[in-house]
Structure 1
Amino acid sequence: MDDPRILVTGGAGFLGSHLCDRLVASGRDVLCVDNFFTGSKRNVAHLIGQPHFELMRHDVTFPLFVEVDRIFNLACPASPVHYQYDPVQTTKTSVHGAINMLGLAKRTGARILQASTSEVYGDPEVHPQPEGYWGRVNPIGIRSCYDEGKRCAETLFFDYHRQHRVDIKVMRIFNTYGPRMHPNDGRVVSNFIVQALKGEDLTIYGDGSQTRSFCYVDDLIEGMLRLMDSPAGFTGPVNIGNPGEFTMLELAELVLKQVGGASKLVHKPLPADDPKQRKPDIALAQSALGWQPTVALEDGLRETIAYFRKLLAS
């Protein structure tokens, strides 16, 4: 397809805005849709007025009638602070949003990519997590609105694929960080950086031995684009993330080393259902997409800290 018309839902969010940047830079026509619950016009302000970019306020829990060739479905609050604020709406966004976007893909014949999450694995008993692992998720906990909403969305994608032959791609995103993260999203990277820049103590939940794997946003978007452009027979799901594994204590020390200052570490109780380990098995992404992350955590943190330093100063 020479010049596809591309819809990005959640396009004014952290990941969505970086995706819009890449697509517009490549000369694609992009319709960015967002209800601005966690997304911000500031993230795409530099694109407004460009001939290949259009911004629309819309909530994906309602049907959308547009003509497009490709759909990136990224709409959903992705941090516990935001998705637990209105858990019913979070589930609606994942489930009704998937139904509406899949319906649009079915009508227009568009290829559609679902931004799923490593949270579908829950608090895993298998480490690292391969795509064939079905997960260990609490269906009635405080994180369930997001975890189970995303799991149900994957179910819908594969049922639309089997029943209606919709051309789908499903990616499971592991912890991603970088410029344009929301400063108050409660995620560990933004938490540590903002606290350190403000000279506050860094909050460690539990003993800090729980691990996460952090993927820089540029690497993540490259993986997303490669998955969208992969052959029609390859649906995923496919893990996209950085297999480098760090404890929360190690991350805190890296942030303090780069920011400086006299911040100390303070410990608070571990939230309910917080996974103890999170690390992607990316063998499938490497073999099927020729993708693997290239940005080291230290380098990505440097860019992210510079962004937050400028944001807080303004």
Structure 2
Amino acid sequence: MKKILVTGGAGFIGSHLCERLLKEGNEVICLDNYFTGSKENIVHLMDNPYFELVRHDVTEPYFAEVDEIYNLACPASPPHYQYNPIKTIKTSVMGAINMLGLAKRVNAKILQASTSEVYGDPKVHPQPESYWGNVNPIGIRSCYDEGKRCAETLFMDYHNQNDVKIKIIRIFNTYGPRMNPNDGRVVSNFIVQALEGDDITIYGDGKQTRSFQYVDDLVEGMIRMMASEDTFVGPVNIGNPGEFTMIELAEKIIKQTQSNSKLVFQELPKDDPLQRKPIISLAKEKLDAWEPRIKLDNGLEKTIEYFKEKLR
């Protein structure tokens, strides 16, 4: 039995990871300050004697004897991370410093949940890990994009200078049950609007693309990355290379929800990327042939069922 710390463990992705780690027979400490996470996401785990919930902000040091750390703590949707941009960048940077310091002290292996946002509005398509990105350092998304880029730098420096055992993954758009209905992400926005019979809001001309990964595929990739050989530290893209326009996504959701919602178009937010698609050949090579298994139609079906219950 390993003792594993998950920061941001009460969030959308973190709660699924905690659940999986417990199922595999580990002891899990879930750390969250509930800025965007919710007890509702992990209440079903509370009776497990090997699950511990701690209210804590990663911008402050935390001490525990653990074997592994998954560092997920950070608001990840534009409305949430732009609500308090200073808090967002402090969470990424100071959170990384505090968790890396803990990993160094107790000789734990630590995984950083980085993001495809480090590529910014990419000039290279699709995106390999070797691409350095096209990021505005002073834009409205910079608190998140640059915070995550700085966290990657810190992870590499702690590894090179102090021999900390690190792993870096870059997460592409992920969806599934336990998404916050008000998080402003495109999948949850479209589903909620469709279920409530509202018009579906598309920013720009709707031809911009994203690649959508179901949360179970991401969790599988995270666990395989943590278990990979110590010499492979990443970064590695974890995402679904299937590419869809916003209009295609909206049409799929309207069809699956049998909604009468119409598409309405609004101005594209500043610095919003026009394309996003991962190259996952490195993940396939290094992570025991990992690749996404769940098709968008199947994942949307499960996610829509979750939101139907949530919105009752």
Note the 1:112-261 alignment, pairs <5 A: 112-261=110-259
Deviation track 1:190-247 (CA, whole Å, cap 9, x = no partner) reads: 0000000000000000000000000000000000000000000000000000000000
| RMSD, aligned α-carbons | 0.4
What amino acid does structure 2 have at the position aligned with 1:299? N
What is the match of residue 294 of structure 1? 293
What amino acid does structure 2 have at the position aligned with 1:37? F
Query: Structure 2 CA distance, aligned partners of 1:129 and 1:272?
Result: 21
Q: Secondary structure at the match of 1:42?
A: helix
Query: Structure 1 CA distance, aligned partners of 2:138 and 2:251?
Result: 35
Displacement after TM superposition at 1:4 (Å): 1.5
What is the match of residue 304 of structure 1? 303
Query: Structure 1 CA distance, aligned partners of 2:157 and 2:191?
Result: 41
Q: Secondary structure at the match of 1:203?
A: strand
Query: Structure 2 CA distance, aligned partners of 1:191 and 1:64?
Result: 35
What is the match of residue 30 of structure 2? 32
Note the 1:45-60 alignment, pairs <5 A: 45-60=43-58
Query: Structure 2 CA distance, aligned partners of 1:310 and 1:298?
Result: 19
Query: Structure 2 CA distance, aligned partners of 1:232 and 1:135?
Result: 26
Stretches of structure 2 that go unaligned for 5 or more consecutive residues are none
What is the match of residue 102 of structure 1? 100
Q: Secondary structure at the match of 1:60?
A: coil
Stretches of structure 1 that go unaligned for 5 or more consecutive residues are none
Q: Secondary structure at the match of 2:45?
A: coil
Query: Structure 1 CA distance, aligned partners of 2:40 and 2:147?
Result: 28
Query: Structure 1 CA distance, aligned partners of 2:41 and 2:260?
Result: 31
Displacement after TM superposition at 1:171 (Å): 0.1
What is the match of residue 80 of structure 2? 82
Q: Secondary structure at the match of 1:46?
A: helix
What amino acid does structure 2 have at the position aligned with 1:140? I
Query: Structure 2 CA distance, aligned partners of 1:198 and 1:6?
Result: 39
What is the match of residue 62 of structure 1? 60
Query: Structure 2 CA distance, aligned partners of 1:261 and 1:152?
Result: 42
Query: Structure 2 CA distance, aligned partners of 1:10 and 1:261?
Result: 34
Displacement after TM superposition at 1:262 (Å): 1.1
What amino acid does structure 1 have at the position aligned with 2:213? C
Displacement after TM superposition at 1:52 (Å): 1.1
- The sequence identity of aligned pairs, in percent, is 71
Query: Structure 2 CA distance, aligned partners of 1:294 and 1:13?
Result: 23
What amino acid does structure 2 have at the position aligned with 1:238? V
Query: Structure 1 CA distance, aligned partners of 2:185 and 2:48?
Result: 32
What is the match of residue 277 of structure 2? 279
Displacement after TM superposition at 1:261 (Å): 2.2
What is the match of residue 9 of structure 2? 11
What amino acid does structure 2 have at the position aligned with 1:211? T
Query: Structure 1 CA distance, aligned partners of 2:167 and 2:78?
Result: 25
Which runs of structure 1 show a deviation greater than 3 angstroms over 4 or more consecutive aligned residues?
none
Query: Structure 1 CA distance, aligned partners of 2:149 and 2:8?
Result: 18
